Amino acid sequence: MRKSFFSICLLISLTLTSCSTILNNLPGVYSLEIQQGNIITQTMVDQIRPGMSKRQVLYIMGSPMLDNFFHKNRWDFLYSAHPDGSDKIQQQVSLFFENDQIVGIQGDFRPSSTPVAKVSNESTVEIPKRDLDKTLWEKITGLLGISNLEASTTSTTSTKQKSPDNKFWF
């Protein structure tokens, strides 16, 4: 009885541990790619220069992933991804500040020695001014052929009462 119980427990444990291996490698099974942290690229790190303010670095890199209470002058940017069927990718960059200006960088990326100018892909679109002189009601009555005199007389006979200090009360 004991041998059969032990063998059944062993068989169940082997089956459960192999299920994850079998299910992860089945063809046609979709597994979700999970990305965590800040996306870090070499072009972002190349734009960082000594003496930049925290605000400028925040604009380039985004907000830091880790905010250490004991090291307020250190920002850590972490990125982790596990694409389907490949090894896990991890990238890390730490930026060090003194007097709100960057003084050092440490991690998987190194800034280039030549200045890099970021090319903007944005374009400016000229939008014509809107005609806001007429209200929607005036435009509708103008399309229907109702004169402005009739529209103005109906607005004066409304339920609004004017107070002595020229404020309207409803």
- Cα 141 to Cα 150: distance, rounded to the nearest angstrom: 10
Q: Which residue has the tokens 């190349």?
A: 46
Question: What local confidence, expressed as pLDDT, does residue 10 receive?
Answer: 77
Instruction: Calculate the CA dihedral of residues 17, 20, 26, 28 and round it to 10 degrees.
Output: 160
Phi and psi of 86, rounded to 5°?
-135, 175
Tokens of 6: 């032990």
Tokens of 116: 């890099």
Q: Is residue 169 very low, low, confident or very high in pLDDT (cuts 50, 70, 90)?
A: very low
- Work out the average pLDDT over 122-144: 80
Question: Going by DSSP bridges, is the β-strand pair 161-162/101-107 parallel, antiparallel, or unpaired?
Answer: unpaired
Question: What local confidence, expressed as pLDDT, does residue 55 receive?
Answer: 92
Query: Which domains, and CATH codes, for the chain?
Result: 31-118 (3.30.1450)
Q: Is the pLDDT of residue 149 over 60?
A: no
pTM reported for the whole predicted model: 0.51
Q: Is residue 97 very low, low, confident or very high in pLDDT (cuts 50, 70, 90)?
A: very high
